[in-house]
Structure 1
Amino acid sequence: MRPILMKGHERPLTFLKYNRDGDLLFSCAKDHNPTVWFADNGERLGTYRGHNGAVWCCDVSRDSSLLITGSADQSAKLWSVQTGSPLFTFNFESPTRSVDFSVGDKLAVITTDPFMGSSSAIHVKRIAQDPNDQDAESVLVLKGPQGRINRAVWGPLNRTIISAGEDSVIRIWDSETGKLLKESEKEIGHKKAITSLAKSIDGSHFLTGSLDKSAKLWDTRTLTLLKTYATERPVNAVTMSPLLDHVVLGGGQDASSVTTTDHRAGKFEAKFYDKILQEEIGGVKGHFGPINALAFNPDGRSFASGGEDGYVRLHHMDADYFNIKL
């Protein structure tokens, strides 16, 4: 499996997202410029210029017409995917960490970091059909969790919002009333900050990765813990194959301790696990530095990883991969 190396960012990668058709890949990095690539050959299509800070997260609408990005410059922006022009900017009083379009793209959930005495918050914004009608008002603002919320995504039918972050608790909120419906239990939940959260293709379960060197699989409606995948390093990024029962974890030690260790000891590879048996089935090496972002193509035939080294690596699976027998 020969990866395609995509060099378009000057700084570490933070997030990767495929569009629904799987032909475009969007990458976010600390260099202010989200970039879009062709997902089959890694050709760079263009960049979205306008942010003045690290871009932490992005999401693309179902018809691939709108892109939303969240940045450390205290704003979230809506872009035209096709032209690259910014359509609207949501301004906040603290850095924006996570963005997610609802099913149907009529709403977006945006999380903001704790900053200058204000706590972290989850904002729900209405997304107008016509960008000229877009306003900045929040339909709902949720506050509560201590520390940063690293990811917030929509639950089934947009009825709930699932959030997770530095306090290592996963919470499910009612997206209309803002009421807290469920919290993960301390005994079975993560022990350290949750870095990443990925939903399954049908939305019935989701995967969380944490600095406690594990990833956990949860039922979306009941928040029942289904599986735990243990690894020997902090997990920065997680994703699931839409085709096979495979879970991919990426991570590595902190960037601060990278230079002091041999690169082979840092174990900067994407690890594949069997979703059901919880056993490791393989790994894909290549990054020089921790993996910060992972995404599986919706067709299940390729995946992308983004690292602290500023590279996006695009892996098209060999035929053998689809016949792995355990």
Structure 2
Amino acid sequence: MRPILMKGHERPLTFLKYNLDGDILFSCAKDHTPTVWFADNGERLGTYRGHNGAVWCCDVSRDSMRLITGSADQSVKLWNVQTGEQLYSFNFGSPARAVDFAVGDKLAVITTDPFMDSPSAIHVKQISRDPSDQMGESVLTIKGPQGRINRAVWGPLNKTIISAGEDAVVRIWDSETGKLLKESDKESGHKKTITSLSRSADGSHFLTGSLDKSAKLWDIRTLTLIKTYVTERPVNAVAMSPLLNHVVLGGGQDASHVTTTDHRAGKFEAKFFDKILQEEIGGVKGHFGPINALAFNPDGKSFSSGGEDGYVRLHHFDSDYFNIKI
């Protein structure tokens, strides 16, 4: 596999997201400008200018017309994907960390970091078809969990919201009332900050990655722990193949602890695990620094990784990959 190297960011990558068709890829980084690329050849299509802080997360609507981005500049912005025009800006009193469109794209969940006196919170916003009708008010605000909420996504039929973050607990909330329905067990759950959360293609289960050097697979309705994947370094990003039973984990130490030998020691590779057997089946090297973002193309034939080194690496799988036997 010869990766395509995409250099469009000045600073470390934070998040990657394919659109539903899998033909374009969005990248977020600490350099304020989310960027969109062609997913087959890595050609840069354009950038979205308007944020004044690191962009932590993004999501794209099902019809690939709207992009939503959350940033450290305390705003979440809606963009026209084609023109790059800013349609609306939700402003908060604290940095916005995670964003996720609901099925149907009429709602979005946004999390904000603890800042000054305000605790972390989960906000649900209504998204209007016509940007001129867009309102800034939240339909629901949930306050409560201690520490930063790194990820929040919608559960089945938009009835629930799943959140996870600094306190290492996965929680399921009722998306209408804001009531806490379930939280992960201290014994079976993660022991350190949960950095990433990724839903399966069919929405029946999800994967969390944590600084405790493991990733865990959960049932999205019951929050039952299904599988645990153990690696030898903190996990910053996780993704699941929509095609095969493969899970990919990326990570590495915090940038401040990095020594020059780590790259050669293979500490910065994306590691593939068998989803069912929980065994490591391979790795993809290449980044000069921890991997912060991973995404699988919805067709399962390629994946991309974003690193602390500012590069996005796009990998199209060889035919051998589809015949891996364990």
TM over 0.5, yes or no?
Answer: yes
SS in 2 for 1:263: coil
Paired residues of 2:54 and 2:72 also in contact (CA < 8 A) = yes
RMSD: 0.7
Instruction: Verify the 8 A CA contact 1:291 1:306 in the aligned structure 2.
Output: yes
Q: Structure 1 residues 208 and 47, CA, compared in 2 at 3 Å: closer, same or farther?
A: same
Is this contact kept in 1: 2:158–2:175, CA < 8 A? Answer: yes
Deviation at 1:260, TM superposition (A): 5.5
Cα displacement (A) at 1:259:
3.5
Amino acid at match of 1:131: P
- Aligned runs of 1:106-255 on 2, under 5 Å? 106-255=106-255
- Contact persistence 1:120–1:145 (CA under 8 A): yes
CA distance in 2 between partners of 1:80 and 1:289 (Å): 32
TM-score normalised according to structure 1 size: 0.99
Task: Judge conservation of contact 1:258–1:266 (CA < 8 Å) in 2.
Answer: no
Calculate the TM-score normalised by the size of structure 2.
Answer: 0.99
Instruction: Name 1:84's counterpart in structure 2.
Output: 84
- Give the CA deviation at 1:266: 5.9
User: Percent identity at matched positions?
Assistant: 86
Q: Distance in 2 between matches of 1:156 and 1:92?
A: 27
Give a deviation string over 1:192-233, Cα, whole Å, max 9, x none: 000000000010000000000000000000000000000000
Q: CA deviation at 1:313?
A: 0.1
**Separation (CA, whole Å) in 1 of partners of 2:165 and 2:266:** 24
Q: Which residue of 2 aligns with 1:322?
A: 322
Q: Deviations for 1:138-173, whole angstroms, at most 9, x for unmatched residues?
A: 000001100000000000000000000000000000
The residue correspondences of 1:225-304 to structure 2 (distance < 5 A) are 225-259=225-259, 261-265=261-265, 267-304=267-304
Contact 1:253–1:266, Cα closer than 8 Å, also in 2: no
Code of the aligned partner of 1:194: I
Distance 1:227 1:262 in 2: 28
Unaligned runs of 5+ in 1: none
Displacement of 1:258: 1.1
Q: Which residue of 1 aligns with 2:36?
A: 36
Q: Quote the Cα distance in structure 1 between the aligned partners of 2:253 and 2:178.
A: 36
1:135 positional shift: 0.7
Q: 1-side partners of 2:113 and 2:156: how far apart?
A: 25
Partner Cα separation in structure 2 for residue 13 and residue 5 of structure 1: 13
Deviations 1:249-279 (A, max 9, x none): 0000110011464422361000000000000
Contact 1:216 1:229 survives alignment (8 Å): yes
| Amino acid corresponding to residue 202 of structure 1 in structure 2 | D
Q: Distance in 1 between matches of 2:190 and 2:6?
A: 33
* In 2: Cα distance, 1:270 partner to 1:167 partner: 25
When residues 103 and 59 of structure 1 are mapped into structure 2, their CA distance, relative to the original with a 3 A threshold, is: same
Tell me, in whole angstroms, the C-alpha distance in 2 between the residues paired with 1:35 and 1:234: 27
For residues 266 and 208 of structure 1, what CA distance do their matches in structure 2 show?
A: 22
Aligned equivalents of 1:27 and 1:114: distance in 2? 25
Where structure 2 has 5 or more consecutive residues not aligned to the other structure, the ranges are none
Q: Secondary structure at the match of 2:242?
A: coil
- Partners of 1:259 and 1:226 lie apart in 2 by 35
Using the alignment, how far apart are the partners of 1:82 and 1:122 within structure 2?
29
Between 29-38 and 266-275, report the one with greater CA deviation.
266-275
The CA distance in 2 between the partners of 1:133 and 1:89, in whole Å, is: 13
Where has structure 1 moved over 3 Å in runs of 4 or more?
259-262
1:11 maps to 11
Mapped partners of 2:49, 2:266: distance in 1:
34
Figure out how many residues of one structure are paired with residues of the other and give that number.
326
1:29-56 CA distances to partner (integer Å, 9 max, x unpaired)? 0000000000000000000000000000
